[in-house]
Structure 1
Amino acid sequence: MQWLIKNKFLIIRRTSQIGILLLFFLANCSLITIGHKKHLVLQGDLSGFESGERNLAIANTKEALLKNPILQGNLSTSKIFDKIPMSDPLAFLQIFLAGGAISFDLLLGVGVVLALYGIFLGRGFCAFVCPINLITDLANLLRRILRIENIRFISFSRNTKYIILALALVLSFAFGMLAWESINPISMLHRGVVFGMGTGFFGVLTVFLFDLFMLKNGFCGHLCPLGATYSIIGAKSLLKVQYHLNKCTKCMQCIRICPESQVLHLIGKQSGFVTKTACIKCGRCIEVCNDDALNFNILHFNKEKK
């Protein structure tokens, strides 16, 4: 029980990330009735049927496994309870610049995401939704186990992700295509889990090996343009990590565990809020702090007494 309480944010994050993938997966499952028997079909795969049954399966009406799926679509564009649209802001910008059609649902979905993350959650998408975070966190865990967490064979500025973001938008405009989506490992992993892993496996494996052996938090912290997009969107978000200098014993466990350790520059220096936009709101710094010197708070809502 103590471990569960101590790691509550980690548990919430993993439940959220895996749960979202599971909901997308189940929304793409269906039941096919042949004769008086119902057959479960995953992602439209009819390979388990004999040739004669396969023709019947194609001809028969399919019914969704979930009558009212909670989540439908993908991480680029989806609907919650078939009512509330959610749209990836980076995908939206690429579609717009590439000259694609902008539907009302797509526009409304972007508005919902901008409101949710811009006002409150900031870059929280990276910690609570993005499936690639599962892969990069595993790489970071193995780095600590193997005691190679400070080893790097390559170096990039953390601002490189903003350059890649700008490049993705320029290429989308120039060539009329969604430039980043064609190589996006986040989309590759999502499609792999929901529809079956194909060549996208190698893209995901590349991210894992890059983070494990080349550069700690290399993809998410240095290269991912979606992370850069949410950093910009959440620049003025209200949910922040708050630091209390008077409680801190300067053990620096928070610095060690944080995937964006540069945001914790105030540790050991002064009390205040972590206002750097790169913070992904994962809560790991709070969980490893035995001094209760860190907590989540609403910016300026509960100011520390002088």
Structure 2
Amino acid sequence: MGYFVESLRQLIGFAPRKPAAEAIRPEVREIHLLKRREKVTKAEIRAIEIAHARARTRHKWRNRRWATLIAVNLLFLLSYTFDVQLLEGAMTASRFVGFHFADLNSALQVTLAYKHVVLNLLIGTTTVFVMWWLLGGRTFCSWACPYHLLAEGAEWLHLKLAARKWPAQVKFHRGTRTVFYLLFVVLTAATGYTLFETLSPTGIVSRALIYGPGLALLWVLALLAFEVLVSRRAWCRYVCPIGVTYGVVGLLSPLRVQYDVRRCHHEGDCRKVCLVPHVLDLTIRGRAGELTTDVGADCTRCGLCIDICPTDSLRFTFKGLERLK
């Protein structure tokens, strides 16, 4: 229940809570005392990081994720181009070898706009709900969303420019995403118009890839420019309701990222690469109350923190099964 409540709090924009002193298990306190007595030097940590950077598995999960993301979106294009009817439609609504799939947020928008539930939409959302529940709610964001890959490129450029102190680095309160979520819901229900679908770069990029580019891509380019020059990953962090929807679905997902306090040197590299670094606040010394703690449902399961961790303090786990390697 604690994981559920804390994850929900983070999804709607609250900062992670630091565990009370009495909530930290004695064995965790003992580990922190041992780390202070036998403190690893910066030189030793640097040597571990250098060895890890040279490992062949350094970008294992990133490469798997990119390959999956590209393959899924390319399958839409190939199916349409060659009319093989394997994967029809676009990312917002599709049919895979006869099975209907519908993005949960898009389905909500359509239902609110037209005030009734279409049977195929219900079937499609049920399929998608079960799939993304198994994979972990926000897995969609980093493993399927075509805009995410473009935003990663914009983020890379933003960080390159930030190293030279050039672009602005504006941060907004994460609760703005919840405000936008409610705003889109209210406006859709009141106007009967699926406003978010018009603005969503996920749908725009997906349709442009399959059916050809249109003027709507100018909006996507404007978003990317804003993220490069003003605010890192602004759309995904502060506006997009898709992440909230899938995050709620993934609250009780069996697939999670798990943190092991015994292995961690608390160097903080994982938080630097994370799209949603607040979910990794538990890696800060004294912020984990258990020997192993599951990262909250606002996590996108992108695997970047796992790739960069030199001590395997962060790993994928699937409840009831062995740890994923």
Q: Are the aligned partners of 1:140 and 1:149 in contact in 2 as well (CA < 8 Å)? A: no
- Give the alignment of 1:58-137 within 5 angstroms: 64=83, 66=84, 69-81=85-97, 83-99=98-114, 102-137=117-152
- Please tell me the residue identity of whatever aligns with 1:261: P
2:305 maps to what in 1?
Answer: 285
1:139 maps to what in 2?
Answer: 154
Q: Are the aligned partners of 1:165 and 1:229 in contact in 2 as well (CA < 8 Å)? A: no
Per-residue Cα deviation, 1:43-85 (whole angstroms, up to 9, x for no partner) = xxxxxxxxxxxxxxxxxxxxx3x2xx4311111111111x221
Q: Are the aligned partners of 1:169 and 1:179 in contact in 2 as well (CA < 8 Å)? A: no
Match of 2:231 among 215, 219, 235: 215
Note the aligned Cα RMSD (angstroms): 2.2
For 2:147 and 2:164, the matched residues in 1 are separated by 19
The SS at the match of 1:181 is helix
Larger Rg over CA atoms: 1
- Give the % identical residues: 27
For 1:80 and 1:3, the matched residues in 2 are separated by 37
TM-score, normalising length from structure 2?
0.75
Q: Are the aligned partners of 2:168 and 2:230 in contact in 1 as well (CA < 8 Å)? A: yes
1:217 Cα shift? 2.0
1:242 maps to what in 2?
Answer: 258
The SS at the match of 1:122 is coil
1:148 Cα shift? 4.1
1:302 Cα shift? 6.9
| Distance verdict in 2 for CA 1:195–1:239, change over 3 Å | same
1:10 paired to 2:50? no
| Greater length-normalized contact order (CA 8 Å, ≥ 6 residues apart) | 2
Number of residues paired by the alignment?
Answer: 265
TM-score, normalising length from structure 1?
0.80
- Give the alignment of 1:146-295 within 5 angstroms: 146-148=161-163, 152-267=168-283, 268-269=285-286, 270=288, 271-295=291-315
Match of 1:23 among 75, 78, 92: 75
The SS at the match of 1:73 is strand
Q: More helix per residue: 1 or 2?
A: 2
Q: Are the aligned partners of 1:254 and 1:284 in contact in 2 as well (CA < 8 Å)? A: yes
Per-residue Cα deviation, 1:150-202 (whole angstroms, up to 9, x for no partner) = 96453321121221111111111111111111111111111111111121221
- Please tell me the residue identity of whatever aligns with 1:15: A
Per-residue Cα deviation, 1:213-271 (whole angstroms, up to 9, x for no partner) = 21122111111111111112212212111111121122211011111100001103334
- Unpaired segments ≥5 residues, structure 1: 31-63
Q: More strand per residue: 1 or 2?
A: 1
| Distance verdict in 2 for CA 1:153–1:290, change over 3 Å | closer
For 2:162 and 2:294, the matched residues in 1 are separated by 28
